[in-house]
Structure formats: structure tokens, C-alpha cells
Structure 1
């Protein structure tokens, strides 16, 4: 390997983790994020390093542009996607593969990814570059090919939206685990499902993503009066009754994993405001469960 290639590789490896984190926040899937990082690497090899003032900023801009191109292509496919779309969970506990995806996902909660997904692609990219990686507004503007004024508006809207969708009193680690354990005990039939009323917000929202590959609701279900009967109906289905349930760390937080032997059937995670669950999200699409380990 020649010296030029080594210099490029060294600079890229120094920032690979940040690049994967930026792409995962914009895209919400591991495979697409790794594709974006790989494409950025291929282009980076041809860059004149003497002309690059700040490799980190340059690479973050490059991977974000690539991620946005993937989003635009994927949005066309998304029109044909069956039901709601949720981000791809990644195991981050001791059983997880020690790969870069797990290292990055440990810092990026699924709850945050759900919120970011509700932003427009440009708002998401602007928010990630400015709020997560602290790039100056002029550099964000260059990356997104927008004026600085426009980018400031994008970031302001995104910041307000994230603040709106974020619990006022996020549950601490012990409360989050206790709530997840309550769902585990209900799933296993150790406690009556009706007892979940005590830990559910009246306005709780349940979203299931199966992509047409498994049984799931085609729209979010809102309100405790609809969510509880839906959960009861799901747990009563023979294919769900056959599952074993366990709590594993996913994206740095406890989540409920339903599995049959070594096959992962679903991942369920919650978001809570104080000691009350406000969101329940479930992924059953097998294409999104490849990064979950038992």
C-alpha cells in the first residue's frame, strides 16, 4: 500500500465512527448507513488531502450528502412500503457483536431515531450536522446547498420538533427497565394485562412495523382504550404464544425481544415520560432484525 493510500486510510479511520453515527441518524438502518460510509470512503481516496482543511468536517459533509441521496431513492420505495416505518434496532449488550454498528447505536436511542424520522430529510440532516456534530452553519449550508438563512430555519424547526416530541421528564435508566419488565411479565402471562393500565399514558401510541412480512397494524394505534385490546389480541395469537420473551439491551436501552429458538420475531421498545409509557414501538419486519442478537 503506498503512502498516499495510508494517509487517506488513517484520516478516514479516525472519523469512521462519527460518519456511521451521522448516516445512521439520517437513515435509521444499518445496511444503508454502512453503504453511505463505504461510498464516502471510495470518494475520499480520490481527494487531494492538501486541499482539505478539516477532514472531519469534510467527511461528515460527504457522508451526509450520500445519506440524503439514499433517502431520496428510498423514499420512492417507501411509497410502496406496507404500514408504518420504524428504524432498525441494533443489539448493544454483551451478547452483541463488537462491530462498529453496535458501538455507534449505543449512543443513539431508538426513541430519538423515531423522532428524527418524523422530520423532513433536510431538517434531519441539518439537525444532525449542527446539533450533534456542531458543524458551523456556513459548512452545513454548503453541505446541503442551501443558504445559511435557510439552514438556520431548518435547524430551528427541527430543534423545536424534537423538543415537542421528547418527553418533558425522560425516564431514568432504572425506571425504563422497570417499565420494560412490566411489559415482559405481561407478555409471559405472569401478571394480568390489565395491570399495564397503571404504567400507560391515556394517550399512549402503539406503532408496529412489519413491512407486510408479518402480522401488524397498518396504522399507529392511539389511546389506552385501543392499545390494550390490541396487545391482548396479539398475545393471544398462536404464533405469538409460541414465542419466548427476554429483555436485551438495544440501542443502549432495555427492550423486549420476542424469539422462537434463535430466530428473532420482534423487538419492542418503549418511551416514557416520568413513570408512564407514552409510546410503544414494535418491529417485526425480519429485514430489520438482522442486527439483534439473543
Structure 2
């Protein structure tokens, strides 16, 4: 590190650390706090004794996020209504192949599936499968034997594979769904939308109990289409519709007087049909979308 400022070293790794923290925690605000805490500890560290700053920072960030996640999971017991990950406005500056890889690990469906894992399983899976960290390094980060680390990743991989959420639906198909969804809300026509929904389509809404929203989970094509043409159309038709990218996929922001009041994202199956519609209404979670797009590692 001779001749390089500690801040410069950290800034080179900030994007990586934030991407890791966000995937572990499912919250932009918590990820920002985690990265800030790591930065403070980094500034106070004995840099001359740190042979590999990147590994040191990743280790500290991972362990800190695991502790934060345990606390967050305990607090979610008292969360009002359905809990969804905090949405993040994304932008990808990589190749289409890299974009697809990033999108598959940022989607709401993937982040929700990660919630089924223990904090250590979640961290181990992300480090090895998403950030391509060798098992020996992951074991060191988690302070465990490599064989035990392999078992952690293996168990997590089985859970993730069963969820079938690591594929990416082509942007053209996503755009068709967004157009059909808007037409159903503003024009009342559901024919196009119905053809793009899976039979077991589900709608989940997260308001945190702070603003009015649909309650419970609506499942099944008929139930969802009725919800769209009655309750959602009644309140959403007059909003400003802003297409955007959220969590690596095509999404919609609904605005009133320039303020984001709702964000809608989607999940898809292998055939390109929508399997889930996620409605974010909690104003605390929507605040982060106003910061503009993040380029995540």
C-alpha cells in the first residue's frame, strides 16, 4: 500500500462491498451503513500489517453483515404485513452477459429466496457462487473449516436451485409485460396481460403498515386480474408512470406530484411468464430510489 492513500484503496473496493452487503442484507440503507462502518474501521486499521487489503475489507464487511442480518431477522418478526427487500434503482455498465449475471442475483425473487437461508449460508453462497470466491477464501472469511464451508454452499445451492430464480427473462419480454400491465390499469383491457401471466401468479405488497395498500397475497390468474382492474386501477390510473430498472429488471415507478409513491417489480418463469408482482409502498424503502441508479458489482 506504500504511496497509496487508505481512502483510495477503499474506494476501489466500495462498489464490490456495497454489492455484497446489499445482497446479504436485502436493504440499501443497511448496506450503506455496513459499508460506512467498514470504512471507519479501515481508516483506523494498521495498514502496514494488512497484506491483502481487498480480502481484509471483504472479510470485515461479510462478518459485519452477518451480525446485522441476524439482528434484522429478529426485528422482522414484528414487521407489519408482508416484508419485501428494499428496492434499488440499478444501471449496468457491463456486457449483456454480465448484465444477465448481475440481474439474476439482484431480483426480488432471488433476494426473497435468500431469506430462507441462515446468515452464514447466505454469505457463503453469495461469496462463492456470485462473487466467485474460492472455497478456501470463503472458509477464511467465515472462520470455519473448508469442508464445512463446502457443505454450507451445497445446502444453499440446493435451496436456490429448487426456487428456479437464477434465470433472466429477455428485456423485450419484460417490456411487453410492462406495457400490458399499464394497459390493464389505465385502459381496462386485460387480454394481453392475461397471456403473459402464469396460472399461479401471485401479488405481494409491502407497505410496512405506514400507507394504505392491498393486504395479504393474491394468487391465481383470475384473482390477480380482478385485483388489477378493480382496486389497482381505481388508485393507480392517475399516477405518473415512469419505466425504470429496479434490481436488475424492468420495473415501474408510480409518482404523484413528482414523488415516488409505489414501485412495481416482477418475477418470471423459464417460459417468460410473470410469476410474481411485487408492490413496494413503504415510504422508507422507496426513499432510496430517489438517489438515482447504482452500478452494482
Q: Which deviates more, 267-276 or 30-39? A: 267-276
Q: Which runs of 4+ in 1 moved over 6 A?
A: 104-107
**Aligned residue number for residue 114 of structure 1:** 112
Q: CA deviation at 1:233?
A: 3.5
CA RMSD of aligned residues (A): 2.7
Aligned-pair distance for 1:5? 10
Note the residue ranges of structure 2 that are not aligned, 5 or more in a row. Answer: 93-101, 293-297
The 1:8–1:167 alpha-carbon spacing in structure 2 relative to 1, beyond 3 Å, is: closer
Partner residue, 1:142: 140
**Cα pair 1:206 1:221 within 8 Å, conserved:** yes
Which residue is 1:292 aligned to? 289
Alpha-carbon offset, residue 117 of structure 1: 3.0
Q: Is the 8 A contact 2:104 2:168 kept in 1?
A: no
Provide the residue aligned with 2:69 in structure 1: 71
- In structure 1, what is the Cα distance between the partners aligned to 2:5 and 2:24? 28
User: 1:21–1:105: 8 Å Cα contact kept in structure 2?
Assistant: no
Match of 2:58 in 1: 60
Question: Within the alignment, does 1:244 sit opposite 2:235 as a pair?
Answer: no
State which of 172, 175, 178 in structure 2 corresponds to 1:174: 172
Q: After superposition, give the CA deviation of every residue in 1:127-149 in whole Å (9 maximum; x if it has no partner).
A: 11111222232332233233323
Q: TM-score, normalised by structure 2?
A: 0.84
Q: Secondary structure at the match of 1:247?
A: strand
Give 3-state SS (helix, strand or coil) of 1:108's partner: coil
User: How far does residue 255 in structure 1 lie from its aligned partner after superposition?
Assistant: 0.5
Cα deviation for residue 230 of structure 1 reads 2.6
Alpha carbons of 1:165 and 1:88: their partners in 2 closer, same or farther (altered >3 Å)? Answer: same
Tell whether the 8 Å contact from 1:19 to 1:63 is kept in structure 2 after alignment: yes
Question: What SS does the aligned partner of 1:292 have?
Answer: helix
Q: Deviations over 1:24-72 (max 9, x none)?
A: 1111111110110011111112322333232212211111111111112
- Tell me the secondary structure at the aligned position of residue 274 of structure 2: strand
Q: 1:268 matched to which residue of 2?
A: 264
Q: Distance in 1 between matches of 2:170 and 2:103?
A: 18
Question: 1:225, CA displacement in angstroms?
Answer: 3.0
Partner of 1:19: 17
Consecutive unaligned residues in structure 1, runs of 5 or more: 95-103
d(CA) in 2 for partners of 1:214, 1:240: 14
**Mean Cα deviation higher: 215-224 or 130-139:** 215-224
1:275 and 1:253 mapped to 2: Cα distance?
Answer: 13
Alignment of 1:1-294 (within 5 A): 7-92=5-90, 108-167=106-165, 170-189=168-187, 191-237=188-234, 239-273=235-269, 274-293=271-290
Give the drift of 1:252. Answer: 3.3
| Whole-Å separation in 1 of the counterparts to 2:146 and 2:242 | 48
Instruction: Number of aligned residue pairs: give it.
Output: 281
